[in-house]
Structures are given as structure tokens and as C-alpha cells.
Structure 1
Amino acid sequence: MAAGEPKTFNRFSDFYPFYLQEHRNLTCRRLHFVGTGLVIALVLIALFSGNYRWLAAVPLAGYGFAWVGHFFFEHNRPATFKNPLYSLWGDFVMFKDMLLGRIER
């Protein structure tokens, strides 16, 4: 792999430790937690209300909080730019791990 080339991962279990390294800053993790929580709430509101316009706010809630955390607190580029699907999965796994107290929030 050449310098500057994004690292590729074949399994999420290999990616997740990298993902956590990209989220060492507590404020960044907290912003991810809020954003992911809002994403879950917005999806549930859309499903239960039948008003699917709520889904338009999902990317703003999810990416908005996360990117503020990365650009202003973590000072790195979000993993979304390099590994979008694993990064999305990582958001939900980190949310679960924070909720369960496995990661400080």
C-alpha cells in the first residue's frame, strides 16, 4: 500500500480497533453518541408515525454531530471517508459499547 492510500479492511473485527483509535477524544465520542441516538430516534419516529419525511434529517443528525467531533475535537478525517460501510457499522457498535459502559461516554 502506498503512502497516503487509505487502509483497507477485509473484516469488521479488524476495522473496529482502528475505528476506536480514530475516536479517542471524549467529546468526539459524545457527539457521535448524540448523533447516533438521534438517528435511531428519527428512524423510529418515521416508522411509527408513517411520516417518512423524518428520514431526511437522518444524514444531518448522524454526520453533523460526528463531523463536528472529528474536525473540531479529534482533529482527523472521519473514517466515513475511507471506509463508509464499516464506519456506519462502527458508529452503532460504539454507541452500544458506550451504552453498556464498555467505552467511556
Structure 2
Amino acid sequence: MAKRIATYAEFWPYYLREHANPVTRAVHAFGTAVAVLLMVAGLLFGPWWLVLLAVVAGYAFAWGSHMLVEQNRPATFTYPTWSLISDFRMAWLMATGRLGPELEKAGVP
């Protein structure tokens, strides 16, 4: 059995290595953007089911990219909170053009 990751500082490089393919990262960022837009729309304007759809959409894009592109198991199943935090962190770093150095530190080519 693999050793369980104990800190977020250990998890972040692991998360990035699990998202080594740029297509996976792009699909994740797109899914995160869709989820945020649906969440905001649902909370501000309704209908309430948009909030539920936000969660479904966010995870559908992420999990789909893991199954079809990366062909690995999403970290969400083992580390749900850290995965959610990291998804937003990765999307933000991508949007601001600062993901490259983080990928290098994590050993992602």
C-alpha cells in the first residue's frame, strides 16, 4: 500500500504530476470556469438547481479528463479537500501565466 500523503505541501507536487498532460489541465480549467459561472448564476439569479449543476459539471470535466486523457485515478477520491483547493489553485495559476515554475518544481516536463 502506498504511503498516505500527510501535508498539503507534499500533495501539491503530487497533484501536478497527476495532471502532467496539458490537455488534462486545460479540461480541468474549463470545467472549473464552467462550475464557477454556474455557481454564481445559481446563487445570484437562480434557479437553485444551477448550484447542483455547477458541482456536477466541475467534477464531470475533471473526472472525464482523468479517464480519457491522463488515464489515472482522480486524487479527489483519496484527498477530496486538497484536490478541490488544488484545482482552483491550478486554474488560477494557469489563468495568470504562473503555472510553469510550479510544474518544473514538481518534475512535470
Letter in 2 for 1:8: I
Please say if residues 6 and 82 of structure 1, whose CA atoms lie closer than 8 Å, have aligned partners that are also in contact: no
Letter in 2 for 1:34: F
Please say if residues 27 and 62 of structure 2, whose CA atoms lie closer than 8 Å, have aligned partners that are also in contact: yes
Tell me the CA shift for residue 46 of structure 1.
1.2
Report runs of 4+ in structure 1 exceeding 4 Å deviation: none
Partners of 1:74 and 1:97 lie apart in 2 by: 20
| Structure 2: runs of 5+ lacking an equivalent | 101-109
Per-residue deviation, residues 49-74 of structure 1 (Å, max 9, x unmatched): 04322111022211111111111111
Please say if residues 97 and 103 of structure 1, whose CA atoms lie closer than 8 Å, have aligned partners that are also in contact: yes
Aligned-pair Cα RMSD in Å:
1.5
TM-score (norm 1): 0.86
Call closer, same or farther: CA 1:101–1:66 in 2, change over 3 Å: same
Partners of 2:78 and 2:67 lie apart in 1 by: 15
TM-score (norm 2): 0.83
Please say if residues 23 and 29 of structure 1, whose CA atoms lie closer than 8 Å, have aligned partners that are also in contact: yes
